[in-house]
Amino acid sequence: MFSLPSKIEAILYLKGQPLSISEIAEIAKCDRAEVKDALIELMSEYAHRETALEVVETEKGYNLQLKEIFAELSESLIQPELGVGALRTLAAIALKGGIAQPELIDIRGSGAYQHVHELVDLGFVRKRRQREARSYWLQVTDKFHQYFQLDQLPHQLSLNFNNLAAEDENEHSDTA
């Protein structure tokens, strides 16, 4: 039979979110005092192990999580989920080969401000203040190219992608 700390470790791992002492006690089918003692024991064990995980108490309850020191590794291995709007905003920036933020907002609407913020945070877009303007110039980063593996596209598709971007650029300069 497994010890209560091991059972709580399994519960925290399987739930993948902070749990209160009451929630843990209900799932483990024991009383709150036993859970408190087992949590202290479990937290002590993790504190003395050389492991990437830790059990911490948060505002929402107890959580089994990756230590903060591994955050950068986590970000590089776990692929971010982008919503459709953010993906479309990213595509617009990529197709243009760089774009002034006001022009992007004209194309994508005011929701693009949030998309740009998200894309900059994720490292897909670089945002630079334009020299003689109040707006920003937006460009995709190397991370964008690595993540979407555009360098591995077949040569013909790559040419079509570049032609499409050029046609789109000409279309916008004709209407301006």
**Contact indicator for 168, 133 with CB cutoff of 8 Å:** no
Looking at residue 150, its pLDDT comes to 63
Sheet of strand 99-100, all strands in order from the earlier edge strand to the far edge:
99-100, 136-140, 125-129
What does the pLDDT read at residue 175?
44
Q: Are 173 and 105 a contacting pair, CB within 8 Å?
A: no
Tell me the residue type at 31: D
Question: Spelled out in words, what is the top-level CATH class assigned to the domain 84-175?
Answer: mainly alpha
Whether the CB-CB separation of 150 and 158 falls below 8 Å is answered with yes
Per-residue pLDDT of the chain (176 residues; tens, 9 = 90+): 689 999 999 999 988 888 999 999 999 999 999 999 999 999 999 999 888 899 999 888 999 988 888 877 776 666 667 888 898 999 999 988 899 999 999 999 999 999 999 999 988 999 999 888 788 999 998 888 777 766 555 554 545 555 555 555 555 444 44
The pLDDT assigned to 153 comes to 55
Among the CATH numbers 2.30.29.30, 1.10.10.10, 2.30.110.10, 3.10.620.30, which is that of 4-74?
A: 1.10.10.10
| One fold for 4-74 and 84-175 | yes
For the chain, domain boundaries? 4-74, 84-175
Residue 96, CB-side half-sphere exposure with 13 Å CA sphere? 22
